Homo-oligomer: A and B are copies of this chain.
């Protein structure tokens, strides 16, 4: 029963990432400079932001080392158009694909019991008090985060 529940959660992640993949990887450089609404984030910023946030999931879930910490300053710590884009569009698209395929490979190796272990940003004490601060909750909240920005990305024209 628990295998099927975990499979549903990982399946939901894959579905969201798959849809974002399609949109972003098809977008050319000009399209990626479009904003989702006047004065709001560029598509390129959202791509960088999601790549950096997902890259942080490796250490947060305790499933590996980060691949692209060079994206954080421009795409997490600062709003869009504060800093120059740190890498080329081609390299950012490559980073996005690397990070997400690395995550999915790691997700598929975790057992249900391992999904229920604590994530690395919570202490043993706090986790003992609240066992919902586990890996699967991070997976679900990052899936929602990706959906949130996917909804914005489709508005760019």
Contact = CB atoms under 8 A, between A and B. Distances in A.
A91 to B, nearest CB: 26
Using C-beta atoms within 8 Å of the partner chain, give the interface range for chain A: 35 or more
Main secondary structure, interface of A, reads: helix
A112 interface: yes
A6 B5 CA distance: 8
A42 to B, nearest CB: 13
A137 B14 CA distance: 12
A62 interface: no
Contact of A116 (B5, B11, B143): B5
Contacts of A37: 36-38, 155
Contacts of A16: 144
A15 interface: yes
B7 A132 contact: yes
A57 interface: no
Interface of A: 1-2, 4-9, 11-12, 15-16, 36-38, 40, 112-113, 115-116, 131-132, 134, 136-137, 140-141, 143-145, 147-152, 155
A53 to B, nearest CB: 14
A47 B11 CA distance: 27
Contacts of A12: 137, 140-141, 144
Q: What 6 pairs between A and B have smallest CB-CB spacing?
A: A148-B151, A151-B151, A147-B147, A37-B37, A12-B140, A5-B5
